[in-house]
Structure 1
């Protein structure tokens, strides 16, 4: 096996400034109370927040090349944005549209319809969504949308980002494999479903004779590459979730008193926080390496799968610790800990479970599971 590539993992000035700008905007426009209100059906935050991120900050086309009107940035900058979105538990289609769908479309960029779609995404005029279940990993079977006389039919359940999308990137089964078609969202029946994480609400999509525009006849590799990029960069969001949980828990335990002492001063609590700190730091490092690998197109599969499998579990553990260590207040609807636990649990299933990524990773590195050590 070749040695790991020498990737630059230090934050650049551009990345630092981008992170600072996104955090300031989210602090001003994404209060946790408004995120909580989404569980009661109030989507006003999502409707107002995305235009500010997409158009005002130009994040919608961050990964789109400058030739198509985008920012021409790399996965490293996208990871910085996702880390901040995770810290705020923000309800935006950045991951589904600007990362996953855009990654697939970039593989189709030789076709006019794909270039047109990338231009509209970069301008912030439209959002896109890849029509696969949220749980679909890079190695999972793809939905069975079929084409007859140029018309697409079939149903896909639990699709992320499609509620906000104007354009759907649809995998279509053909005798030769899997093609990529672009379908206007208005041509499909989209039924929102109650989701564990209502800040990333899922929906069932039904196509019944919808007109699709062919973007790539042999598109399975493009779709799987987009799913792998999504899983690798989702790790940055999960790292952001985990760090918020750690920081808020530490801050709370510094002021909460019990038996005449600050709770954070108890040795058992210190040990748990120290262990959690080590996990969160490791998750941030894994997520950052995955983003750098994606940006450099080196060691992508190993880096993305390591980050996806590790950061998923760390985010859940950090959220669970936040709920438990913050005690009774964490059980209330007003305290935001439940938002992060729901986001972490939902993300744990997104674009491949940790166990699925570990199994695939074993194949990549030629590890025989259960074999005795050499």
Structure 2
């Protein structure tokens, strides 16, 4: 496999890094995270209007640009480096992917152009009280009523659920798990932002009181499409984790070069050298896992997608936590302070470790795929 990037993809990376260096500085991240607003509307409009990122990998006939997952992976990797505070993952990796996999062409035509243009913030509401990203975990009830559908129950830990204009909700009917679209301003919907360890990525609890909803796809047939969308999202999250880990390690290495103890930079001591080398080895191995997943997505190798996704999610989740923790260790006492950015990456690492399912959950999925 050749995981090298083309000249155009390298140019995309350079453009994004320059953009985020201007619009997602540490001060920007702290301001948005502490305000609870979730994102900067002006930056969100620029992501869609100036860069066209919301529709990057969506087919042109649905309002997107028709690029591949390698390009989308570059976007998530650079967003991970910058700790961008925006509902991009929820909108693109979860909602847009679910619409592309739901088997409902009309719904895709109705909703994806708005997402691609940057006018619609969307998310997937799947998890409930148990927090499981599984078919069995879907218990929210959907009922047919007066030629339409209503939802009753609750979802929680919904990424950017308090911000979304469009909610794609997994619910259970007599025929099984089904997918529904709910307007963010629908009657009978109550949304509450949740306190989170990682303030850079919002979560919400959604309560439905006979809330009107639109059935997407076939009743009872939603889970295969949702499961496939989650596999794609896991690979994109792995790319984001690689970006965050790379930024944390770069910061630690630069600090080791300039921080002196006993008249020498701490990076000259064997213990710090070995730690940096070990963290770099883990990072590059995880990068291969994430890039391998992107390659599988672009190769349309459906037989390997779930295997690649589980592998990437496990390795990159554990690697990011290890690197972020190592970065704090290298920085010493200052790395534990609120004023230093090391804790921002550590919190993102811990939250993304369990996001979309824990490493243990994905190990079980990997074992099932491999038949062991």
- On whether the aligned pair clears a TM of 0.5, the verdict is yes
- Give the whole-Å Cα distance in 1 for the aligned partners of 2:196 and 2:41: 18
Does 2:107 match 1:107?
A: no
Does 2:335 match 1:330?
A: yes
Does 2:232 match 1:229?
A: yes
Q: Which one is further off, 37-46 or 106-115?
A: 37-46
Deviations 1:267-294 (A, max 9, x none): 1110111111100111111110011111
How many equivalent residue pairs? 361
Stretches of structure 1 that go unaligned for 5 or more consecutive residues are: 1-6, 368-374
Which of 227, 241, 245 in structure 1 is aligned with 2:244? Answer: 241
Deviation at 1:297, TM superposition (A): 2.1
Does 2:122 match 1:123?
A: no
- Give the whole-Å Cα distance in 2 for the aligned partners of 1:113 and 1:93: 21
Does 2:140 match 1:141?
A: no
Stretches of structure 2 that go unaligned for 5 or more consecutive residues are: none
- In structure 1, what is the equivalent of residue 197 of structure 2? 196
Which of 43, 50, 55 in structure 1 is aligned with 2:44? Answer: 50
Q: Which one is further off, 49-58 or 77-86?
A: 49-58
Deviation at 1:177, TM superposition (A): 1.4
- In structure 2, what is the equivalent of residue 291 of structure 1? 294
- Give the whole-Å Cα distance in 2 for the aligned partners of 1:39 and 1:310: 27
Deviation at 1:141, TM superposition (A): 2.4
- Give the whole-Å Cα distance in 2 for the aligned partners of 1:185 and 1:74: 29
Identify if the C-alpha distance between structure 1 residues 103 and 148 changes in structure 2 by more than 3 Å, giving closer, same or farther: same
Per the alignment, in what secondary structure is the counterpart of residue 158 of structure 2? strand
Per the alignment, in what secondary structure is the counterpart of residue 200 of structure 1? coil
Does 2:345 match 1:340?
A: yes
- Give the whole-Å Cα distance in 1 for the aligned partners of 2:48 and 2:41: 11
* Contact 2:126 2:133 (8 Å CA) reproduced: no
- Give the whole-Å Cα distance in 1 for the aligned partners of 2:305 and 2:203: 28
- In structure 1, what is the equivalent of residue 185 of structure 2? 186
- In structure 2, what is the equivalent of residue 29 of structure 1? 23
- In structure 1, what is the equivalent of residue 309 of structure 2? 304
Identify if the C-alpha distance between structure 1 residues 38 and 258 changes in structure 2 by more than 3 Å, giving closer, same or farther: same
Tell me the TM-score normalised to structure 2 length: 0.93
Deviation at 1:352, TM superposition (A): 1.2
Q: Which one is further off, 146-155 or 246-255?
A: 146-155
- Give the whole-Å Cα distance in 1 for the aligned partners of 2:279 and 2:122: 36
Tell me the TM-score normalised to structure 1 length: 0.92
- Give the whole-Å Cα distance in 2 for the aligned partners of 1:120 and 1:363: 37
- In structure 1, what is the equivalent of residue 92 of structure 2? 98
* Contact 2:38 2:202 (8 Å CA) reproduced: no
Per the alignment, in what secondary structure is the counterpart of residue 94 of structure 2? helix
Deviation at 1:242, TM superposition (A): 0.9
* Contact 1:137 1:353 (8 Å CA) reproduced: no
Higher RCO (Cα < 8 Å, 6 or more apart): 1
Q: Which one is further off, 28-37 or 256-265?
A: 28-37
Deviations 1:222-281 (A, max 9, x none): 111111111121000111111111111000000000111110000111011111110011
- Give the whole-Å Cα distance in 2 for the aligned partners of 1:53 and 1:145: 36
Q: Which one is further off, 78-87 or 144-153?
A: 144-153
Deviations 1:285-319 (A, max 9, x none): 11100111112222211111111000000000111
* Contact 2:307 2:366 (8 Å CA) reproduced: yes
Per the alignment, in what secondary structure is the counterpart of residue 141 of structure 1? coil
- In structure 1, what is the equivalent of residue 7 of structure 2? 13
* Contact 2:141 2:173 (8 Å CA) reproduced: no
Aligned-pair RMSD on alpha carbons? Answer: 1.7
- Give the whole-Å Cα distance in 2 for the aligned partners of 1:258 and 1:108: 58
